[in-house]
Each structure stands twice: as structure tokens, then as C-alpha cells.
Structure 1
Amino acid sequence: MITLHGFPFSNYHNIVKHALLAKGLDFEEHIAYPGSEALLAVNPLGKVPAMTTAAGTVLSETTVLLEYLEEKYPEPALYPADPEERAKTRRLMKLSELYLELPARRLLPAVLGSAVIPEATLEEVRAALQRGVTGLTALAAFSPYLCGDQCTLADIYLRYALAIPRLAGPSKLDWDIVSAVPGLREWDVMMAGSEIAKRVDADQAANADEFMAYVKKHMG
């Protein structure tokens, strides 16, 4: 059986978890936090997520896990069949990571702790997020999914990549990223309404206190 190593409060963990559920695959979750011995045992970088395949191979890095799942378990497909459309899907995934999730992640020390973010950093984050907003506005179809009528990995990736901008934007930048992209609010509601998203969100909420206690003890 596949084992997903990580924790339900992690958005990257949840990207892979959502893909596993969307493909209807049997898997188990092994709760392991960043830098812990349990996680280091399967990923020497101590990062979430990692995955042990049914064959016993241990893999890490979110995009690597997603590509493996798509190649190993091609049905139901989470990429369009057409190579051109697949490339567009990957482009939106990369945009979500580089211009939405990663910039906003720089604000987490202030959101989860008491760190003070310098004004220059705030402006850098805002500028990067604006590039993401501009790109998403231009490239996403929202008809009803990002790439058309099929839910793809771009939709799954963006849903969880938005977690940190959604968390940090209003409080640290006075900016609601979801409202800044026409059609994104409606897409967000649609995505949240799926049974898979409800399960992932419920597991995330249930893990919140334990994760925050871990942060306070080990990273505070």
C-alpha cells in the first residue's frame, strides 16, 4: 500500500493527498513533522511530503510525487490528453507555486509566531503576488476549472497553494488575493464543495492544534 508521509495541516501534503483521493487509490498517512526523526527516515531533507510507493520506493518533492502518480496510475487522468494542454496545466501549477505560495510563505514567521516582517520584504512579497494575480487572471479559463471542463492537477495545486496567501494576505498585506482575480472566488467555492476537499479540510482542521503545539515546541 502507498504511504504518504507528512501532516494534514501542510498544504503540500494536501496537494498529494487530494490527488491520491481523486485517483481512488488506497493509501495510509504516516504523521511526521518537518525535521523530525520520523520524517528524516524517509526524506533526508526533512521536508513534507514524502511517499513510499506500493513497491517500497521512497520519493519526495510534491511535483515528483504527482508526476509519479500520473504515470503509475493514469486513470482517472489528472492531466489533459493533449500535450499542448498538458503544458498549459503545468504552467499554471508552476505559477501557483512560484508566484503565490512561495512568496506568501515568507510571511509565515509573522503569522505563526511573533516575527516582525521588514517593510522591504512586505513590498517584495506584494510584488511577487501581484505577478501571480496578473498571470492567473490572464491564463486561467475558469470554465469552470482552470483549464476548461476537466479538473486537473492545476486545480488541485492552486487550491492548496492559495492556503498561505489566504492566511497571510489580509493580515499582513491588507489584501485578499482570492478577490483580486475575476472568477477565482467562484472557482474556490466550487473546489471546496467536493467530497474530497471536505475530507482534506476536515483532516487539516483536526490536525491544527497538534501541529501548532509542535511548532511552538520545536520551532518557536
Structure 2
Amino acid sequence: MLILYGFDVSNYFNMVKLALAYKELDYKKHTLYPNQSTEFLALSPMGKVPVLETTQGCLCETSVMMEYLDVLHSERPLYPGDDFAKAKIKELVKLCELYIELPARRCYPEVFFGQQVSLETKKEVKRALFKGIEGLARTAKFSPYLAGSEFSAADIMFLYSADMAAIVMQKAFDIDLLALAPGATELMARLKEMPQVQQIAADRKVANVDFQKYIASLS
């Protein structure tokens, strides 16, 4: 039995949840926040979530988990197509993660938690997100999905990366990030209509109550 460690407010945790739900794989959920305990570091070398426990051991890093799940269960593939098509999907996954999700994360403290972020950091984030979404627009097909006609791992990474980044751009800079990539707004709406995505959103709303208590306990 697969065991997924993490919490329902985490966008990376929800990426793996969507992959599991889309592929209709059974698993157990173990709610856990990032920590540096000896016990958890034995599962996750950096103390990060999510972590996927398998019968052979544990895996960390979301993109690695999605690739593993695709090998484990080939039906409803997350990386459809020939070897080159699979590589292009992996390319899109990395573009979303490295140039949209990670830059936006630097402004999370201010946008989501009411903390202060330096003006220089915000300028850097704004520049990085412009470059990231423009790069994605040059690479993605949006026909209607990111890599073409079929849903893929790239759409999962886009959904939970670009959605958060769009909130950052709107609240911090009053800019519509998705409008900068033709087809991105429509794709985001399509993805949010998926029953699995709607269930994950409902789970996130419920879990946010405990998450806010957890954040308050850190201060």
C-alpha cells in the first residue's frame, strides 16, 4: 500500500494527490508538516513534504513521484506519447516548477502570511515571473492541455504552480499572470473543473483551519 505523507494545503502534496486520483490508485494519507525530527529525516532527507512510501522504500520530490507512479501503473498515463513526447512533458514540468512556482514562493510570506518581503525581492520575483510565463507561452501548446491534446503531469504542475503564482502577481503587483500566456486562463479553468481537482480543493479548505493553527504555533 502506498502512503503519502504531507498536508492538504501544500501545493506539491496536492500535485501527488491529483496524480494518484487521476490514475485511480489506492493509498493512505498521513498528515504531517515539514520537520527535522530524526524519524522524519529517515523518510525525507531534507525534512520536506510530500513523501511517498512504497513497498521498496520512500521517494521525495514531486516530479520523481509522478514519474514513478506512471511506471507503476501505466493506465491513464501522466506522460503519454513516445519517448520524445514524454521528454517534452518533463520539460514543461521543469519550466513550471523552476521558473513559475519557485520564484513566486519567495513572496508567499507577504501575500499569504502577512509578513514583510523586501522591495528588492519583490522586483526580482516580478521579473522572474514575467520571464517564466513568457517562456512557458513559447513552449506550451495549450491545445487544450499544456503538452497538447492529452492531460499530463505538466498540467498537474501547471495547475498548482501557476495558480499560486497568479495570486502572488495579482496581490503584489496587480498583474494578471495567466493573461500573459494565451490559453493559460482557459486551461486553468478547464483543470479546475475536474472532479478530482474539486475534491482536492475541498480537502484543502478543511485542512487550512489546522494549518493556520500550525503557522501560528511557529511564531
Paired residues for 1:166-181 under 5 Å: 166-181=166-181
| Count of aligned pairs between the two proteins | 218
Q: 1:64 is matched by which residue type in structure 2? A: V
- Structure 1: stretches of 5+ with no match in the other structure: none
Q: How does 1:11-160 map to 2 (within 5 A)?
A: 11-35=11-35, 37=37, 39-40=40-41, 42-53=43-54, 55-160=55-160
Contact 1:89 1:153 (8 Å CA) reproduced:
yes
C-alpha contact (below 8 Å) 1:11/1:163 kept by paired residues: no
Give the counterpart letter for 1:191 in structure 2: L
Distance 2:184 2:112 in 1: 26
Change (3 A) 1:9 1:109: same
* Sequence identity percentage: 38
Instruction: Give 3-state SS (helix, strand or coil) of 2:78's partner.
Output: coil
SS at match of 1:162: helix
> How many Å separate the matches in 1 of 2:72 and 2:168?
36
Look up the match of 1:199: 199
Shift of the alpha carbon at 1:179? Answer: 2.2
Q: TM-score, normalised by structure 2?
A: 0.94
- Rounded Cα–Cα distance in structure 2 between residues aligned with 1:202 and 1:57: 30
Offset, 1:186: 0.8
Q: CA RMSD for the aligned pairs?
A: 1.5
What code does the residue aligned with 2:32 have? Answer: A
- Using the TM superposition, give the Cα deviation of residue 180 of structure 1 relative to its aligned residue in structure 2, in angstroms: 2.1
Letter in 1 for 2:49: V
Query: What is the alpha-carbon distance in structure 1 between the residues aligned to residue 152 and residue 101 of structure 2?
Result: 18
**TM norm structure 1:** 0.93
The residue that corresponds to 2:214 in the other structure is: 214
Distance 1:83 1:44, change over 3 A: closer
Aligned partners of 1:123, 1:134: CA distance in 2, in Å? Answer: 17
Deviation at 1:115, TM superposition (A): 2.5
User: Aligned residue for 1:189?
Assistant: 189
Distance in 1 (alpha carbons) for counterparts of 2:159 and 2:27: 21
State the shift of 1:25 in Å: 0.2
**Deviation for aligned residue 1:112:** 3.1
Q: Distance in 2 between matches of 1:59 and 1:147?
A: 26
Q: Provide the C-alpha distance between the structure 1 equivalents of 2:144 and 2:105, rounded to a whole number of angstroms.
A: 28
Unaligned 5+ residue runs, structure 2?
none
